[in-house]
Amino acid sequence: MKIFSESHKTVFVVDHCPYMAESCRQHVEFDMLVKNRTQGIIPLAPISKSLWTCSVESSMEYCRIMYDIFPFKKLVNFIVSDSGAHVLNSWTQEDQNLQELMAALAAVGPPNPRADPECCSILHGLVAAVETLCKITEYQHEARTLLMENAERVGNRGRIICITNAKSDSHVRMLEDCVQETIHEHNKLAANSDHLMQIQKCELVLIHTYPVGEDSLVSDRSKKELSPVLTSEVHSVRAGRHLATKLNILVQQHFDLASTTITNIPMKEEQHANTSANYDVELLHHKDAHVDFLKSGDSHLGGGSREGSFKETITLKWCTPRTNNIELHYCTGAYRISPVDVNSRPSSCLTNFLLNGRSVLLEQPRKSGSKVISHMLSSHGGEIFLHVLSSSRSILEDPPSISEGCGGRVTDYRITDFGEFMRENRLTPFLDPRYKIDGSLEVPLERAKDQLEKHTRYWPMIISQTTIFNMQAVVPLASVIVKESLTEEDVLNCQKTIYNLVDMERKNDPLPISTVGTRGKGPKRDEQYRIMWNELETLVRAHINNSEKHQRVLECLMACRSKPPEEEERKKRGRKREDKEDKSEKAVKDYEQEKSWQDSERLKGILERGKEELAEAEIIKDSPDSPEPPNKKPLVEMDETPQVEKSKGPVSLLSLWSNRINTANSRKHQEFAGRLNSVNNRAELYQHLKEENGMETTENGKASRQ
C-alpha cells in the first residue's frame, strides 16, 4: 500500500569542498548609478557569486516553493559535506522552515579555499543522506501506529538531491555505486530495528554544476534504474541563473506543479504616481488546478514561462477585484500558490494586495464571445489560494431537458426508445464464467461491448429520420435481428413481419412518414413504401454477418421487394388514377368557385334593381300632379325568393339568420287582416266612416263623392 511517495522525504546534499569557493563567472552589476555618476569617480567593479552561493540560493528557492505549496507532510533534510557530514536539521515539523535552514547555513559559512581538498569528499554527505532516509518521520510513525498489525504496509521512499562539482562520468558512476551499497547495508540494519525503516525506493538526482564559460566534463543522463531500489539521473548545469532555473524545473517535476501567469495586472508606477502599467506575475501551484483545461482540451497556453520552464504556463487575465470576499462562488478546488519571482515588485504587490483581504477573479483570455471566469485568487488564514471556479453547468442545477434540443434545432429525439435501449444494455454482475466456441474464457466486459456494438449498428436518434422504428408492425423484426444468433422461431417471426408489410402495401395503408420541413401532402404512397423498404433493408444488412439465419431473413426481404410485372403495372395504373382524381378534384373546385361568384353577382344585380324601382316609386307618389303608381308586390317577398335562398354568393351571416327567424315566426301566428288587405303595404283606416258619409273607395285607392 503506497501511503508515502518519494516526495515525502527530500535530502539535499550540498558540496562544501574548497573547489566550491570558485567563482561562477556570472557577473552582477553592483554599481547601478551610471547616469548620475560624477566625473572622476571610478565605477565599482562587478561582482560574481561562488559555486557554493549559487548552490545554496537555488536549493533554498526549491525549499521555499515546496514549503509554500506543501506546508505539511513534505519534509526536507539539509546536509553539508566536506571533511565530514553536517546534518543541519531533522525530520520534525519544527525544523521544516526556511528560517531554520538559513540560520544553520549561516553558521556553516562559505567553504575555505585553502583547505586540503584530499580531506574533503561528497561521499560523506551521501552516506549520511541514506542513513537519514532510514529514520522514521512523525507522519510515518503515526501511520504505523494506526495500522498496528499491518505496519509493514507503510512505505518508506525518498529522494536525494546532490549538488557537487564532479570530475568525470566515472566519478559520477562511483558516487552511484556508493549510494547503492550504502542503501543495501542500511536496509539490513533497519530490518532488525524498530526505530528504522528499510528504503523501498530512492531517487538519486546528481547535479553537476560548473562555472560559466567552461566545458562540462560530465554528460547529462535521463532517469535510469540501477536496482529495484535505486534510480539515478544526472544533470550538468552551468552555475548562476542556469542552476536556479534547473532547480525550478525539478521542483515542478517532483511535486506535480503547474504554472499560471496572471496578465494585465494594473499597477501604479513608482516614478509617476498618476499613471499605471500592466504587469504579469507567474505563480506555481498543484497541477490539479488545471484539470478542467486538460479535460476540455482548451489549455490557453501562453508559451513558455518566464524562467524557461519545461512546462507551458497557462495564461489567465486579471478581472476587476471585489471589494470583499463575502460572495460565495461555486468552487471545485483550492490550491496554495507560490510566486516564481518572489522578490519582484509585481509579485510583492500582488501578494500584499491579496493578504489584505481582497479577492481577484481570473478569466480565460478569449478573442470573441462572453468572458469565462474560471479561477479566483483569495487568502485564508494568511495563505493565498488559487480557487477553481466551475465554468460549466453546476451539478446543483437541474440538467437540461433533452426535449429542449441543442440550440433549439432538434426536438424530436427518440427519448422513449433511448430509455428502452439503455434498459436493455445495463451492466450487471457476472458471476458464472462462460466460454466461447473455441474454448477460450469469455470476458464479460468484452461481451457487453460487443452487444452494445450490435445494437447501435443502425439506430437513428431522431424520429423524423426513421420510418420502421415508428411502426408497431416492425417491432418483432427489429427486436430480434440484433441478436448474435437466431432461432427458427425468430426467423419465422421476421418472415411474418415482412409478409405483413407486403399486405399493408397491397392495401395501400398509410405509413407514419414525418412531414416536418416539407410542403404540401409529402411523398406519395408508393414513395413512402419505397423509403420504408430501403430502411428495413439497411437494418437487416447491418446484421447479415451475424449468422446464416440472418441471411435467410435478408433473402426473404429481397424476394418480397422484387414485385412481379403485373404488380408493377397495377401500381402504374394506380398512380395514373390518382393523378386523374387530383386533376378532376381541382377542376370541380375551380368550377364551384366560378359558379359561386356568378350567383353572387346575379343576386347583387337583382337587389340593386329593386332598390332603384322602390326609390322611383316613392318620388312619383310624393309628386302632387302625378298619378298613383301601380300596385306592386311587397318588397319583403324578394327575400323569400328561391334564387336568394339557393344563391352561394357572399351573403352575410346576419342576413341568413334574420331570414330564417322571420320565416319561422311567420308560421307561428295569424297574419293581421289590415296587412293582408293593404295596398303598397299601407292599410286605410276608418273605412266605415267613409261609407256612412257616402264616400266610396275606388279601385286605385282614391275616394270620389257620389
Dump the DSSP string for 75-99: EEEEEEESSSEEE---SSGGG-SHH
C-alpha cell at 607: 337587389
Rounded CA separation 337/358 (Å): 16
Closest CA to 315 of 274, 374, 370, 357: 374
Q: What is the mean pLDDT of residues 138-149?
A: 84
Q: What is the mean pLDDT of residues 416-433?
A: 84
In 45-81, which positions are buried (b, 16+ CB within 10 angstroms) versus exposed (e)? eeebbbbbbbbbebbbbbbbbbbbbbeeebbbbbbbb
- Dihedral pair phi/psi, residue 152, rounded to 5°: -70, -15
Taking a C-beta distance cutoff of 8 angstroms, is the pair 138, 92 a contact? yes
| pLDDT higher than threshold 60 for residue 511 | yes
Rounded CA separation 541/552 (Å): 11
Decide: helix, strand or coil at residue 259. strand
Continuous H helices in 217-344: 241-254, 291-296
Measured in residues, the chain has a length of 706
| pLDDT higher than threshold 90 for residue 281 | yes
Q: Domains of the chain: which residue ranges?
A: 9-29+44-255, 259-300+311-389, 415-429+440-515+525-562
Decide: helix, strand or coil at residue 424. helix
> Beta strands of 256-371 (E only): which ranges?
257-268, 276-286, 301-304, 312-318, 331-336, 338-339, 360-364
CA atoms within 13 A on the CB side of 632: 14
Q: Which of 81-90, 276-285, 310-319, 509-518 comes out lowest in average pLDDT? A: 509-518
C-alpha cell at 433: 464464467
CATH number of 9-29+44-255: 3.40.50.410
Q: How many helices (H) and strands (E) does the chain have?
A: 20, 22
pLDDT band at 445 (very low <50, low <70, confident <90, very high): confident
pLDDT band at 621 (very low <50, low <70, confident <90, very high): very low
Please indicate whether residue 589 or residue 143 has the higher confidence score (pLDDT): 143
| Degrees to nearest 5, angle at CA 643 with 637 and 645 | 80
Rounded CA separation 491/549 (Å): 7
| pLDDT higher than threshold 60 for residue 610 | no
Taking a C-beta distance cutoff of 8 angstroms, is the pair 465, 414 a contact? no
| pLDDT higher than threshold 60 for residue 95 | yes
- For residues 166, 171, 177 and 178, what is the CA-based torsion angle, rounded to 10 degrees? -60
Taking a C-beta distance cutoff of 8 angstroms, is the pair 34, 247 a contact? no
Q: Which of 179-188, 512-521, 626-635 comes out lowest in average pLDDT? A: 626-635
What pLDDT sits at residue 312?
77
pLDDT band at 302 (very low <50, low <70, confident <90, very high): low
Continuous H helices in 426-487: 444-455, 475-480
Instruction: List Cα–Cα distances, 123 to 12, 17, 178, in angstroms.
Output: 13, 11, 8
| pLDDT higher than threshold 50 for residue 629 | no
What pLDDT sits at residue 122?
94
What percent of the chain has pLDDT above 70?
A: 73
| Cell 412481379, located at residue | 564
Rounded CA separation 49/35 (Å): 26
* Average pLDDT value over all residues in the chain: 80
pLDDT band at 448 (very low <50, low <70, confident <90, very high): confident
What pLDDT sits at residue 138?
92
Q: Which residues pair with 283 in a beta bridge?
A: 260, 339
C-alpha cell at 656: 341568413
**What DSSP state is assigned to residue 317?**
E
Closest CA to 533 of 496, 575, 565, 505: 505
What pLDDT sits at residue 296?
64
User: What spatial distance separates the first Cα and last Cα of the chain, rounded to whole Å?
Assistant: 146
Rounded CA separation 555/549 (Å): 10
Closest CA to 128 of 80, 66, 176: 80
Count of Cβ atoms closer than 10 Å to residue 40 Cβ: 5
pLDDT band at 268 (very low <50, low <70, confident <90, very high): confident
| pLDDT higher than threshold 80 for residue 305 | no
Please indicate whether residue 593 or residue 131 has the higher confidence score (pLDDT): 131
What pLDDT sits at residue 697?
45
Please indicate whether residue 684 or residue 580 has the higher confidence score (pLDDT): 684
What pLDDT sits at residue 144?
85
Per-residue pLDDT tens over the stretch 469-482:
888 888 889 889 99
Rounded CA separation 589/587 (Å): 5
Decide: helix, strand or coil at residue 167. coil
Q: What is the mean pLDDT of residues 33-56?
A: 77
C-alpha cell at 660: 330564417
Q: What is the mean pLDDT of residues 7-33?
A: 87
Rounded CA separation 165/236 (Å): 9
In 122-139, which positions are buried (b, 16+ CB within 10 angstroms) versus exposed (e)? bbbbbbbbbbbbbbbbeb
| Cell 554528460, located at residue | 219
Question: Residues near 508 by Cβ (< 8 Å), separated by ≥ 6?
Answer: 525, 574
What pLDDT sits at residue 303?
54
Rounded CA separation 243/209 (Å): 7
What pLDDT sits at residue 338?
95
Count of Cβ atoms closer than 10 Å to residue 391 Cβ: 16
What percent of the chain has pLDDT above 90?
A: 38
Decide: helix, strand or coil at residue 346. helix
| pLDDT higher than threshold 90 for residue 105 | yes
Taking a C-beta distance cutoff of 8 angstroms, is the pair 592, 620 a contact? no
Rounded CA separation 414/465 (Å): 10
What pLDDT sits at residue 52?
95
Rounded CA separation 52/239 (Å): 9
| pLDDT higher than threshold 80 for residue 430 | no
Q: What is the mean pLDDT of residues 478-499?
A: 91
pTM of the model: 0.59
